[in-house]
Chains A and B, each alone.
Chain A
Amino acid sequence: MTDAVNNRARKPLAKRASAFLEPYLYSAPALFLIAAVILVPLVVGISYAFRDIQLLNPFSGGFIGLDHFQALAGDKAFRRALGNTLWWTGASVFLQFVLGLILALLLDKPFYGRGLVQALVFLPWAVPTFLAGLNWAWLFNPVIGPLPHWFHALGLMAEPENILSDPALAMWGPIAANVWWGIPFFAITMLAALQSIPRDLYEAAAIDGAGPVQRFLSITLPFLAPTMAITILLRTVWIANFADLIVVMTSGGPANRTQIVASYIFTQAFRKLDFGYASAIALVLLVLLLAYALLIILLRQTLLNKG
């Protein structure tokens, strides 16, 4: 052992340096690409948040420090958008997850024609969001669409009205479209995780006298937990940033009731052409989502350690 150490110390410096650098040189092209594609735009984007950037205005671009953030602190529309984002993300993820899990459990049982049903069930995932949004918007429209009339017939509504124009209910329109569109994602990932659970565990549990609920709680759930944590984390970040459906269906209306932070960023950047302010909002969203991701990862670690 000591010989080896002495040997290493006696190697010429150049050789040692090259030995040390070798792995870095191999990975340099990849690192360089990652830096060019991800880090540079990220840093540039973050710098915009502290500058006055007006697209198409050649005289803008000066540094203005924290002005954008000061404006943001007093921006009522932003605060409302933040609340709407929590509601939109929470409801969408929860419903997508629960319904996706139920679907996966149903599809896990072999039955005649399962292949066809699986293919059909995953179809919404393949529909472009723009199209899904337009379709749902028309479905909710009482002039053209059936939904308000069905709600009316079921006694849920006094009049067949469009929920998208009701300030209290408008958010449920894009949420419904989002849930329909996002269930397959959870179903696919959960189904894959379910099928990797060894079947003999269930048989052994059944022989030991565990009922279906017990089997689900003590075998299925622990095996699914890591997949659940990761998929929920990913979907939450995606949905919080996902404004397509809202922009297509309500463009943030009525009266900003469905404006989420992501669609607000879009409005500031592409309607007002104020990239500086839009970047400042985006930075706030980024920090919030990072905090959330850290929380989930910590939660997962503690759960795993407990197990």
Chain B
Amino acid sequence: MKKLLTATCLSALMASAAHAETLTLVEVITSPARTETLESIVARFEEANPGTDVEIISLPWGEAFQKFATMVSAGNIPDVVEMPDSWVSLYANNGMLESLEPYLADWEYTDDLTDRALELGREVDGTAYMLPYGFYLRAMFYNKNLLEAAGISEPPATLAEFTEASAKISELDGKYGYCLRGGAGGLNGWLMYGADMAGSNVFFEEDGTSTANQEGWVEGFQWLIDLYQNGYAPKDSVNWGFNEIVAGFYSGTCAFLDQDPDALIAIAEHMDESDYGVTTMPKGPSGKTFPTIGYAGWSMMSASENKDLAWKLIATLEGPEGNVAWNKRTGALPVQKAAEEDPFYDSPQFAGWFEELNDPDAVPTVMPTYLEEFGFFKDSLSISTSQQALLGEITAQEMADEWADYLTKAQKKHLAK
């Protein structure tokens, strides 16, 4: 009843405001600096389209998922939304996102997008329900001073060397090898090291059975558990999220950090450029490594009443000018080929990522974000079970079995569609 009331009020409001050509845009990975950049790009759009007015709603990332879900189910639906990879399937499979294919077909810049951008945008049903604006690829930050103090000349290239280096650094007083992320957002690490040991990033068999509890993967999980239990990561890190691992790294508490380019922003503020480097993630026994690649982009809601204008806004955000300006702020790797010419990406820090991108043995890995159940798995189930494993309450095998059980059900449900 209350839903009905708000929906009618809202539609009445929308009807009366339709003359002023108002678009609503929701950003979900919010920071003050990002909002400022977004406002400046949107201001350019408003100038180019006189008589339009874009209302920006900024949701803090920590509560964005539930806030946006509540907004949408209450009928308060925006025209354009910033879409993280892990939400696409949920909204696309419930018919709430507009396919961008017809618009991409006549867009002048479609050919200038990197192949990966289109490939990832079409992750659900081979249809572009979102257009990525940038990639978050994991690479290894290392603290040059700590490595030197522990007598290590080169950053580790393999998991075995990584363990060895972490052990040496942990002998220093109050220092540790790895900035382990045991809390929110820690799933990437588990899946990367699992895949490294398994030598494959295939998450499911043909029939939908999860590979998570197969031997190689469990070895990878065990490798990370051992690293923690041997004291090569801070004891506290069982609870660490993004802010804690980044603070742990720039305060010199731990020497290795796997992170995306956006962590550069915080780290560059606190550390001298000469004190740290970025290199390819360490490789497993098969000689390959599987850094996770995440992405976020812009989507149009199918309930939008002004789709052509909404696409114009997305095109402004995704065009060469808007995309480079936006990614300089977000720290993600841009989707426009033209961006690679930009001097901003010429810095030594970015060299680490481009090197990794060009390394045939570093296989960018997309987590199975197309599963509707993935959000809960990533944000809740995997965290509590992996913390139990780190604390020695359950074994790596028990954790892997629980994961495989949940993921198999989700994948089979997905295949049955």
Which chain A residues have a beta carbon within 8 Å of chain B's beta carbons?
40-41, 55-58, 77, 141-144, 159, 161-162, 164-167, 170, 250-256, 259, 267, 269-273
- Offer 28 A-B interface pairs, CB within 8 angstroms, sorted by A: A55-B69, A56-B69, A56-B91, A141-B236, A143-B236, A144-B247, A162-B235, A164-B239, A165-B182, A165-B236, A166-B235, A167-B393, A170-B239, A252-B384, A253-B238, A253-B383, A254-B182, A254-B238, A254-B387, A254-B390, A254-B391, A255-B387, A256-B384, A256-B387, A256-B388, A259-B384, A269-B66, A271-B379
- Assess whether B184 is interfacial by the CB under 8 Å rule: yes
Q: Establish whether residues B239 and A253, one from each chain, have CB atoms under 8 Å apart when the complex forms.
A: yes
B interface bracket (residues with beta carbon within 8 Å of A) = 35 or more
In the complex, which residues of chain B have a beta carbon less than 8 angstroms from the beta carbon of A161? 235-236
Q: Establish whether residues B239 and A162, one from each chain, have CB atoms under 8 Å apart when the complex forms.
A: yes
Instruction: Give the one of B236, B248, B379, B387 with max A CB within 10 A.
Output: B236
Q: Establish whether residues B376 and A255, one from each chain, have CB atoms under 8 Å apart when the complex forms.
A: no
**Chain B contacts with A in 40-71, Cβ cutoff 8 A:** 65-66, 69-70
Q: Establish whether residues A270 and B239, one from each chain, have CB atoms under 8 Å apart when the complex forms.
A: no
CB < 8 Å: which of B66, B70, B73, B388 contacts A255?
A: B388
CB < 8 Å: which of B2, B94, B376 contacts A271?
A: B376
Q: Establish whether residues A143 and B248, one from each chain, have CB atoms under 8 Å apart when the complex forms.
A: yes
Closest to B247 in A: A143
Q: Establish whether residues A56 and B90, one from each chain, have CB atoms under 8 Å apart when the complex forms.
A: yes
Closest to A170 in B: B239
A254-B239 CB under 8 A given contacts A40-B1, A143-B244, A270-B66: yes
Closest 4 CB pairs of A and B: A270-B66, A162-B236, A255-B387, A255-B388
- Assess whether B336 is interfacial by the CB under 8 Å rule: no
Q: Establish whether residues A56 and B183, one from each chain, have CB atoms under 8 Å apart when the complex forms.
A: no
Closest to A56 in B: B94
Q: Establish whether residues B375 and A271, one from each chain, have CB atoms under 8 Å apart when the complex forms.
A: yes
- Assess whether B72 is interfacial by the CB under 8 Å rule: yes
In the complex, which residues of chain B have a beta carbon less than 8 angstroms from the beta carbon of A77? 384
In the complex, which residues of chain B have a beta carbon less than 8 angstroms from the beta carbon of A143? 234, 236, 244, 247-248, 251, 253
**Chain B contacts with A in 161-208, Cβ cutoff 8 A:** 182-184
A273-B69 CB under 8 A given contacts A144-B251, A254-B182, A255-B387: yes
Distance A45 CA – B221 CA, assembled complex (angstroms): 41
**What's the minimum C-beta distance from B405 to chain A, rounded to whole angstroms?**
15
CB < 8 Å: which of A40, A41, A142, A251 contacts B236?
A: A142
A272-B182 CB under 8 A given contacts A165-B239, A255-B393: no
CB < 8 Å: which of B69, B183, B237 contacts A251?
A: B183
A58-B236 CB under 8 A given contacts A254-B182, A255-B387, A271-B376: no
- Assess whether B380 is interfacial by the CB under 8 Å rule: yes
In the complex, which residues of chain A have a beta carbon less than 8 angstroms from the beta carbon of B65? 270-271
In the complex, which residues of chain B have a beta carbon less than 8 angstroms from the beta carbon of A159? 235
Closest to B60 in A: A130
Distance A41 CA – B3 CA, assembled complex (angstroms): 11
Q: Establish whether residues B73 and A55, one from each chain, have CB atoms under 8 Å apart when the complex forms.
A: yes
Q: Establish whether residues B375 and A58, one from each chain, have CB atoms under 8 Å apart when the complex forms.
A: no
Distance A34 CA – B414 CA, assembled complex (angstroms): 44
Q: Establish whether residues A255 and B384, one from each chain, have CB atoms under 8 Å apart when the complex forms.
A: yes
Chain B 247-277 interface mask (CB, 8 Å, partner A; 1/0) = 1100101000000000000000000000000
Chain B 80-107 interface mask (CB, 8 Å, partner A; 1/0) = 0000000000110010000000000000
**What's the minimum C-beta distance from A178 to chain B, rounded to whole angstroms?**
18
CB < 8 Å: which of A170, A254, A255, A272 contacts B380?
A: A272
In the complex, which residues of chain A have a beta carbon less than 8 angstroms from the beta carbon of B91? 56
In the complex, which residues of chain A have a beta carbon less than 8 angstroms from the beta carbon of B384? 77, 252-253, 255-256, 259
In the complex, which residues of chain B have a beta carbon less than 8 angstroms from the beta carbon of A164? 236, 239
In the complex, which residues of chain A have a beta carbon less than 8 angstroms from the beta carbon of B248? 143
Distance A90 CA – B326 CA, assembled complex (angstroms): 49
Chain B 1-23 interface mask (CB, 8 Å, partner A; 1/0) = 11000000000000000000000
Closest to B385 in A: A255
**What's the minimum C-beta distance from A179 to chain B, rounded to whole angstroms?**
21
**What's the minimum C-beta distance from A37 to chain B, rounded to whole angstroms?**
10
In the complex, which residues of chain B have a beta carbon less than 8 angstroms from the beta carbon of A255? 384, 387-388, 391, 393
**What's the minimum C-beta distance from B374 to chain A, rounded to whole angstroms?**
11
**What's the minimum C-beta distance from B184 to chain A, rounded to whole angstroms?**
6
In the complex, which residues of chain A have a beta carbon less than 8 angstroms from the beta carbon of B244? 141, 143
**Given A165-B239, A267-B380, A271-B380, 18 other A-B contacts at CB below 8 A?**
A41-B2, A55-B70, A58-B94, A142-B234, A142-B236, A143-B234, A162-B235, A167-B391, A251-B183, A252-B384, A253-B239, A254-B390, A255-B384, A270-B66, A271-B65, A271-B375, A271-B379, A272-B380
In the complex, which residues of chain B have a beta carbon less than 8 angstroms from the beta carbon of A253? 182-183, 238-239, 383-384, 387
Distance A236 CA – B291 CA, assembled complex (angstroms): 47
Instruction: Give the one of B1, B239, B247, B380 with max A CB within 10 A.
Output: B239
In the complex, which residues of chain A have a beta carbon less than 8 angstroms from the beta carbon of B94? 56-58
Distance A161 CA – B253 CA, assembled complex (angstroms): 13
Distance A269 CA – B94 CA, assembled complex (angstroms): 18
**What's the minimum C-beta distance from B388 to chain A, rounded to whole angstroms?**
4
**What's the minimum C-beta distance from B256 to chain A, rounded to whole angstroms?**
15
**What's the minimum C-beta distance from B396 to chain A, rounded to whole angstroms?**
14
Distance A159 CA – B70 CA, assembled complex (angstroms): 44
Distance A55 CA – B90 CA, assembled complex (angstroms): 11
In the complex, which residues of chain A have a beta carbon less than 8 angstroms from the beta carbon of B387? 253-256
**What's the minimum C-beta distance from A273 to chain B, rounded to whole angstroms?**
6
Instruction: Give the one of A58, A141, A159 with max B CB within 10 A.
Output: A141
CB < 8 Å: which of A40, A55, A250, A272 contacts B239?
A: A250
**What's the minimum C-beta distance from A36 to chain B, rounded to whole angstroms?**
9
In the complex, which residues of chain B have a beta carbon less than 8 angstroms from the beta carbon of A269? 66
Instruction: Give the one of A167, A250, A269 with max B CB within 10 A.
Output: A167
CB < 8 Å: which of B72, B234, B388, B390 contacts A56?
A: B72
Distance A267 CA – B377 CA, assembled complex (angstroms): 11
**What's the minimum C-beta distance from B201 to chain A, rounded to whole angstroms?**
25
**What's the minimum C-beta distance from B385 to chain A, rounded to whole angstroms?**
8
Distance A251 CA – B243 CA, assembled complex (angstroms): 14
Distance A144 CA – B244 CA, assembled complex (angstroms): 9
Distance A251 CA – B184 CA, assembled complex (angstroms): 8
